[in-house]
Amino acid sequence: MLTRTDCRCCRGERLVEVFSLGEQPYANAYLTEHQIKEPEPKCPLVLMECQDCGQVQLSHVVDPETLYSNYAFMTSSSQGMKSHFSEMMQRSVTQYVPANGLVVEIGSNDGTALASLSGKNVRCLGVDPAENLATVAGQRGVPTLVAFFGQDVANEIVNSHHGPADLIVACNVLAHVDDLDEFCQGVNVLLSNEGALIVEVPYLQCLIDRAEFDTIYHEHLSYFAVRPLVALFERNGLHVQHIERHEVHGGTLRLTVRRHAYEPRNVAEWLANESVPPDWSAFRANVEALRMNLIDWLTKMRDAGKVVWGYGAPAKGTVLLNYCGITTDLLPVVVDSTSTKIGKHVPGTHQPILAPCELLNWQPDAALVLAWNHAAEIRRKEADYVARGGWMVVPALNRNKE
């Protein structure tokens, strides 16, 4: 575990603490029956803000090998994410990739996004450090390099895949990268002169506005706004050309980044409209109100003899349960559709993770949607549970968008 004392985007050293969740377990480290009896590793979760460019980042960096070599999250577990990525891939390929061109996805997970290009006349390659996910991607017909992306990997791809990439896609991966300069230099090696890098990151503004404190966990080293990202890319000779906002993952930025400084389309407007620095004291107050309301409601439910389960065991569920101190007396069970999570336990608070079909078998009075970014999809899937009188409760205001 390392402490990072400079800004990932501008390398300035004026970092100030703005929010702390204290010591927390690793959110994706689901525990076996045996492991819940052992002491668990914990690490501080503290947000620092760069006083020079506005970048927000964690103070501590957990060894990536610990977090990623066997990764439980799978993109394919959500229909909403599948269609989001498929739309992005089709549009980007039409815009930037010639016949037989090369598309590289960094952080390709289980190959879901690249698999949506099957049947197109393009070559695809995934890069992801998780061996277990690369195997799944391979079974889907998506060749995957098991590696952390950087200049070496970029050179290897250029040499072995016949020329540079026309399109590089990096969705929900930049926040996981400690050395962003190395990442950008890798892009400079791999991307063709006219090619495009499409980046998606959760947007800091949404984290603040919707009190999404549960999206803060050790894998997410950065919480990006537009200004620090533009500074990062410019410092590395890359240029943001276009910015879009999407609703996935609680509010996402999609940036089109080029090697050539084309006329930027809407970057100046975004920079002008971004409210920096965020109102951290309002954020802290909102988080505290959310925590108190949730504990109050769960306690009342328990005291009235009613049973509440969690729906979804995403990393953010681990954070929410641990930060609010919600153990099995208030919420005894969590359900999740991911095969690698079923049969395990939530880190820290130890709820057993069951398959979603158990919801209908047991019909608890309410389900707290921990995977709130998929609330609409989950409501549709569990229509029978709701029809029988089950409540689906989302743990905050304004969070039930898909």
Q: Which residues bind ligand TMP (CB under 6 A)?
A: 73, 77-78, 312-314, 336-338, 341, 356, 371, 373-374, 377-378, 381
Nearest distance, CB of residue 73 and ligand TMP, angstroms: 6
Does position 277 bind Zn ion by CB under 5 A?
A: no
Residue 363 CB-density burial (10 A; 0-12 exposed, 13-18 middle, 19+ buried): middle
- Between 161 and 381, whose beta carbon lies closer to ligand TMP? 381
Characterize 366-400 residue by residue with b for buried, 16 or more Cβ atoms within 10 angstroms of its Cβ, and e for exposed: bbbbbbbbbbeebbeebeebeeeebebbbbbeebb
- Between 76 and 92, whose beta carbon lies closer to ligand TMP? 76
Does position 12 bind Zn ion by CB under 5 A?
A: yes
Element (H, E) at 354: strand 353-354
For residue 352, the 8-state DSSP code is B
- Between 28 and 144, whose beta carbon lies closer to ligand TMP? 28
- Residue 239's binding partner out of Zn ion, ligand TMP, none, with CB under 5 to 8 Å set by partner kind: none
Contacting Zn ion within 187-216 (CB under 5 A)? none
Contacting Zn ion within 32-51 (CB under 5 A)? 50
- Residue 53's binding partner out of Zn ion, ligand TMP, none, with CB under 5 to 8 Å set by partner kind: Zn ion
Q: Which two tokens stand for residue 221?
A: 């080293």
Residue 248 CB-density burial (10 A; 0-12 exposed, 13-18 middle, 19+ buried): buried
Does position 248 bind Zn ion by CB under 5 A?
A: no
- Residue 371's binding partner out of ligand TMP, Zn ion, none, with CB under 5 to 8 Å set by partner kind: ligand TMP
CA distance 200 to 229: 11
Nearest distance, CB of residue 229 and Zn ion, angstroms: 11
Of the candidate residues 15, 27, 47, 55, the single one contacting Zn ion (CB under 5 A): 55
- Residue 7's binding partner out of Zn ion, ligand TMP, none, with CB under 5 to 8 Å set by partner kind: Zn ion
- Residue 76's binding partner out of Zn ion, ligand TMP, none, with CB under 5 to 8 Å set by partner kind: none
Nearest distance, CB of residue 333 and ligand TMP, angstroms: 13
Instruction: Choose one: 1-9, 21-29, 350-358, 387-395; the region binding Zn ion (CB under 5 A).
Output: 1-9
Does position 232 bind Zn ion by CB under 5 A?
A: no
Cα–Cα–Cα angle for 257, 239, 56, rounded to 5 degrees? 80
Residue at token pair 């501080």? 44
Nearest distance, CB of residue 278 and Zn ion, angstroms: 15
CA distance 282 to 274: 17
Q: Taking a C-beta distance cutoff of 8 angstroms, is the pair 246, 73 a contact?
A: no
CA distance 26 to 148: 20
Q: Taking a C-beta distance cutoff of 8 angstroms, is the pair 120, 141 a contact?
A: no
The alpha-helical segments, DSSP class H, found in 104-203 are 112-115, 131-139, 151-160, 180-190
Closest CA to 138 of 160, 115, 120, 122: 115
Nearest distance, CB of residue 283 and Zn ion, angstroms: 19
Nearest distance, CB of residue 44 and ligand TMP, angstroms: 22
Please give the C-alpha separations between residue 201 and each of 24, 247, 330, 374, in angstroms, as whole numbers. 23, 11, 33, 17
Count of residues near Zn ion by CB under 5 A:
8
Q: What is the dihedral of CA 64, 67, 72, 78, to 10 degrees?
A: -60
Contacting Zn ion within 300-319 (CB under 5 A)? none
Does position 53 bind Zn ion by CB under 5 A?
A: yes
- Residue 312's binding partner out of Zn ion, ligand TMP, none, with CB under 5 to 8 Å set by partner kind: ligand TMP
Nearest distance, CB of residue 3 and Zn ion, angstroms: 16
Nearest distance, CB of residue 45 and ligand TMP, angstroms: 17
Nearest distance, CB of residue 193 and ligand TMP, angstroms: 35
Does position 52 bind Zn ion by CB under 5 A?
A: yes
CA 338 to chain centre: 16
Q: Report the SS3 class of residue 110.
A: coil
- Residue 374's binding partner out of Zn ion, ligand TMP, none, with CB under 5 to 8 Å set by partner kind: ligand TMP
- Between 9 and 394, whose beta carbon lies closer to Zn ion? 9
* 221: amino acid identity, one letter: L
Contact footprint for Zn ion (CB under 5 A): 7, 9-10, 12, 50, 52-53, 55
